[in-house]
Amino acid sequence: MQTLKKTEIEKALSELDHWNHEGEFIMRSFTFENFKEAFSFMSRVAFEAEELMHHPNWDNVYNKVNISLNTHDAGGITQKDIDLAARIDAIAKS
């Protein structure tokens, strides 16, 4: 899979919610009411990631979840990252 050019990444991010482009990653942070909601969100994301066979870099502390996406085997950001970010946004909205 080909990595996206900076202009392609910026255009794609303009259609997503609050994702940032930093180096070779797109990133977003989420804050929830409590740990249970944060963990539930992560579980739902895990099922989407598994379906896409594309897994996030993430961390969780209490009610905060930070996600970084990058296609490691392509060495940068690809359409896989954009697709997973869109699914993550849909989960966050629901």
pLDDT in tens, the chain (94 residues): 899 999 999 999 999 999 999 999 999 999 999 999 999 999 999 999 999 999 999 999 999 999 999 999 999 999 999 999 999 999 999 8
Torsion angle of C-alpha atoms 39, 41, 45, 48, degrees rounded to 10 = 120
Give the pLDDT of residue 50: 97
Give the pLDDT of residue 1: 84
Q: Is the pTM of this model over 0.85?
A: yes
The contacts found for 83-86 with CB under 8 angstroms, 24 or more apart, are 83/52, 83/54, 84/48, 84/49, 84/52, 84/54, 84/56, 85/16, 85/19, 85/26, 85/28, 86/16
Task: Indicate whether 43 belongs to any domain.
Answer: yes
Task: Indicate whether 1 belongs to any domain.
Answer: no
Task: Indicate whether 86 belongs to any domain.
Answer: yes
Instruction: Determine the structural domain holding residue 49 and report its residue range.
Output: 6-93
Name the phi and psi angles at 15, rounded to 5: -95, -5
Give the pLDDT of residue 11: 97
